[in-house]
A = this chain, B = another copy of it.
Amino acid sequence: MDQEQARRWLRTALDEARAGLDEGGIPIGAALYGADGALLGRGRNRRVQDGDPSAHAETDAFRAAGRQRSYRGTTMVTTLSPCWYCSGLVRQFGISRVVVGEAETFHGGHDWLAGHGVEVVVLDDAECAALMREFIAARPALWNEDIGDE
């Protein structure tokens, strides 16, 4: 895909991540875009805010998009490489493309998705990486909880 468009869409996810940080939450954001480029849903990690461990950013954006008959041609944009849970979401629902802000602070299932026909774009975005690096350094226990790491 067009890298300019990918970076533009990433801003939406990054805005969500920053809003989450401002709320005392885990700074990961996501957005789901339709095949026509329309924003279908946006969301962020809500573990702290809602006490909801299932509300990873990608799932929150997917939920916000509501019921859809097809995900063909859609793009999930996320500030961080999707974990197995969110990668499974992408694979099960046939989301066509994943734009990943960064995969440096956490390497999830994006290679697995690429091996199953999903178009994966990793942007190596410095802002996304800095946000997570600072968060992980400041709150390691909360981060480990969010990815089920003891």
- Which residues of A does B touch, CB under 8 Å? 47, 51-55, 59, 62-63, 65-72, 83-89, 91-94, 109, 145, 147-148, 150
The majority secondary structure among interface residues of chain A is loop
Contacts of A66 in B (CB 8 A): 51, 53
Contacts of A67 in B (CB 8 A): 47, 51, 53, 145
Given contacts A67-B145, A85-B92, A92-B147, contact A62 B53 (CB under 8 A): yes
20 further contact pairs, Cβ within 8 A, besides A92-B147, A93-B148: A53-B62, A53-B67, A53-B68, A53-B93, A54-B54, A54-B59, A54-B62, A59-B59, A69-B145, A69-B150, A83-B88, A84-B88, A84-B91, A85-B85, A85-B88, A86-B88, A87-B88, A88-B88, A88-B89, A94-B150
